Structure 1
Amino acid sequence: MIYISICKELKKVCPEIVLGCIQAHVTVENSSNNLSKEIDDYCTMLKDEINIEELSNLPQIKDGRDVYKKLGKAPSKYRLSSEALIRRVLQGKDLYKINNIVDINNLISLKSKFPVGSYNIDHLHSPISLMIGKEGEQYKGIGKDLLNIGNLPVLTDSISGFGSPTSDSERAMITSNVNEILICIYSFSDKTDIETFLKYGIELLEKFANGKDIKTQIIE
Structure 2
Amino acid sequence: MKVTISPDVFDKLPDFSLGVIHYSDIALSESPKMLRGRINLFVESLRIEHEPAKLTEIEGIREWRAAFKRLGIDPSRYRPSSEALLRRLIQGNPFHLVNSAVDVNNFLSIHYALPYGIYDLSKLSGQVVCRLGTETDAYEALNGREVQMKGKLLLADEEGAFGSPIVDSVRTSVKDGASQLLQVIFFHPMLSVKQQDEIIGSTARMLTEINGGEVVFADAVRAIS
TM-score normalised over the length of structure 1: 0.94
Q: What does the per-residue CA deviation read over 1:79-129, in whole Å, with 9 as the maximum and x for residues that have no partner?
A: 100001110111011011000111000111011100000000111122211
Residue 86 of structure 1 contacts residue 110 of structure 1 at CA under 8 Å; is this kept in 2?
A: yes
Residue 19 of structure 1 contacts residue 185 of structure 1 at CA under 8 Å; is this kept in 2?
A: yes
Q: Which runs of no fewer than 5 residues in structure 2 stay unpaired?
A: none
Offset at residue 207 of structure 1 (A)? 1.8
Pairing 1:206–2:208 present: yes
| Cα distance change on mapping 1:214 and 1:107 into 2, 3 Å | farther
Moved more, 29-38 or 135-144: 135-144
RMSD of aligned alpha carbons: 1.4
Structural mapping, 1:134-153, within 5 Å: 134-135=134-135, 137-153=137-153
Which residue type is aligned with residue 196 of structure 2?
I
Q: Partners in 2 of 1:194 and 1:48 — Cα distance?
A: 27
2:106 equivalent in structure 1: 106
Residue 119 of structure 2 contacts residue 173 of structure 2 at CA under 8 Å; is this kept in 1?
A: yes
Percentage of identical aligned residues: 25
TM-score normalised over the length of structure 2: 0.92
| Cα distance change on mapping 1:58 and 1:159 into 2, 3 Å | same
What is the total number of aligned residue pairs between the two structures? 219
Residue 116 of structure 1 contacts residue 165 of structure 1 at CA under 8 Å; is this kept in 2?
A: yes
1:8 equivalent in structure 2: 7
Residue 18 of structure 1 contacts residue 190 of structure 1 at CA under 8 Å; is this kept in 2?
A: no
Residue 204 of structure 2 contacts residue 215 of structure 2 at CA under 8 Å; is this kept in 1?
A: no
Q: Partners in 1 of 2:49 and 2:199 — Cα distance?
A: 19
1:187 equivalent in structure 2: 187
Offset at residue 198 of structure 1 (A)? 1.4
| Cα distance change on mapping 1:53 and 1:203 into 2, 3 Å | same
Name the SS for the 1:19 alignment partner. strand
Structural mapping, 1:42-57, within 5 Å: 42-57=42-57
Residue 138 of structure 1 contacts residue 146 of structure 1 at CA under 8 Å; is this kept in 2?
A: yes
Q: Partners in 2 of 1:125 and 1:57 — Cα distance?
A: 39
Offset at residue 136 of structure 1 (A)? 5.0
Q: What does the per-residue CA deviation read over 1:115-154, in whole Å, with 9 as the maximum and x for residues that have no partner?
A: 0000001111222110000135211001321011111110
Name the SS for the 2:62 alignment partner. helix
1:155 equivalent in structure 2: 155
